[in-house]
Amino acid sequence: MATKIRWPKLLTPPNLIQMIRKQKDPHAALELFRAAPLRYPAYRHTIPVYSALLSSLSSSPRFLPLLPSLLRRMLLHSSPSPSLDHVFSRAISSISASDPQSALSLFRLLIISNCVSWPLSFLSLLRPLLLNPDLLPLARQLLDEFSHRTETRIGADSFNLLMKTLCDLRRVDLAVDIFQEFHEQCWYPDRDTYRILMKGLCDAGRLDDAIHLLYSMLWRISQKGCDADVVVYRMVLEALCSEGRIEDAEEVLGKVLIKGLRSPRRRRTFQKPELGGRSLDDMKRLIDDALVMGGVRSLASYKAMVVDLYAEGKIRHADKMFDEMVERGFKPVVSMYEAKIAALCEDGRADDAERVLVEMVEKGGCAPRTRSYELVMEGLCNEGQAMRAVAQLEKMGRHVGNVARKETYEILVNGLCREERFVEAARALEKMARSHRPGSAVLEAVIQGMCSIGRVYEAVLWLEEMVSLGNAPDVDVWRSMVPLVCIDNNPAECLLSCWAGLGRELECLFS
């Protein structure tokens, strides 16, 4: 049930925003929004008030159909403002995953409004379309229609996403066409652009085109060396070696390295590495070492290569390069430690990942981030050590600047439920509910778990919490509760009573 509201003598938009955010039930927040102009005739809703209400309604899928009418009302009563784009962007992001056509209708509504700029809304609409192969024609149509308009101001990120989707669908020819449009649109291809297209060309076996693309990148090598582009060069070099084109790989590697050399003397005495007569793994290892250490060394090149090696699961080789980087005087960054933690957890070595957290502080001088702890906690939960993950959560709370997020608690609750530690999972969920809005999945997992161990009272309390948040429990939740509640009663009558109770709750909730 919604808490009793104490209305002020004079209502201002900040007052109403605070009142809306305090409501756990989205329906109660909506009632506050509707009642405010009736209680205070001189009061007018502002864009931040609409934004606060949209945030509350978006938290429950059952209220998403209300967003279009609410946004239309906002456009009618609001003056032109950049904030409109932010509000529409969040609404489109909430709707687009489940109903792309409704999201498109919202975007069309924004176009005919008095909003003078909507780049965020366009990107929020475009991303889910690009990630769905069936909606690619619609995405391309939108790009053709709006990419040239000043209101969108889209950049390379959108085209990178389109190229990645096309490469994943094995349509590299279309990705090459998109790449050629960069110059026509006066955009600058970034490292992600080259990396996406290079991977697509190599996977498609178009190695000659990949070499041509690599040569077009050589001008990017400054006097600082190959920098983080080494991962792009590495991709085509390893593909050439895998196809047995050793001489081509030696020639390309030589050109890349000599382009990155700063000293004229080193250029004159340069000799390209010899890859022939070695195994494929040895050739790849020699390429990795040559790209990072053959030219002018930099932290960016070490970081790019080390992170790439950890992502591929080559932990031993990555550790060797990591240690050499430290010996050369380069200080590791947090993202490198996180890549190592993720690789260790993926390899089933969560214990070693825990030690990396300590190493970050004692040796690297880096403060672990919330994401660092989440990676370790997820690894421990996957290995059936959820209680140690609980200890990591407590340790994280003692570090300044690390605040547990909603995702942090979800990892912990799901891990405890998998180990059937439902009491501990309920405690973690209780901490989560103090600062975050629990999702339906974790609530249902805890409710069913408490029912499985016979703790019906706690299960009912969490069921009430779930309904108060505006979420209807799944049928499986009721199937778990009915046998326990109906021990001394007629099961059929009790089942009907439970369903009637659910109907009354939902009727009050959505009336």
pLDDT tens-digit series, residues 267-276: 555 667 778 7
Specify the fold of 333-430: 1.25.40
pTM of the model as a whole? 0.77
**Rounded CA separation 102/250 (Å):** 54
Would you tell me the crossing angle of helices 299-311 and 280-293 to the nearest 10 degrees? 150
- Can you give the pLDDT at residue 364? 78
- Can you give the pLDDT at residue 483? 75
Q: Where are the domains of the chain?
A: 155-199, 205-330, 333-430, 437-511
**Rounded CA separation 464/467 (Å):** 5
Low-confidence ranges of the chain (pLDDT < 70): 1-4, 80, 154-155, 185-186, 220-227, 260-271, 294-296, 400-401, 485-511
**Of 70, 5, 86, 77, residue with least CA distance to 46:** 77
- Number of Cβ within 10 Å of residue 112's Cβ equals 8
The dihedral through the CA atoms of 30, 33, 36, 37 has a sign that is negative
Residue 286 neighbours by CB under 8 Å, 6+ apart? 273, 275, 278
**Of 92, 97, 124, residue with least CA distance to 109:** 92
- Can you give the pLDDT at residue 434? 87
44-61 CB burial, b ≥16 within 10 A, e <16: ebbbebbbbbbbbbbbbe
**Rounded CA separation 129/114 (Å):** 25
Alpha helices in 363-452 (DSSP H): 370-382, 386-397, 406-418, 422-435, 440-452
**Of 352, 420, 358, residue with least CA distance to 380:** 352
- Tallying the residues shown for the chain, one arrives at 511
For residues 118 and 153, is the Cβ–Cβ distance under 8 A? Answer: no
- Can you give the pLDDT at residue 83? 77
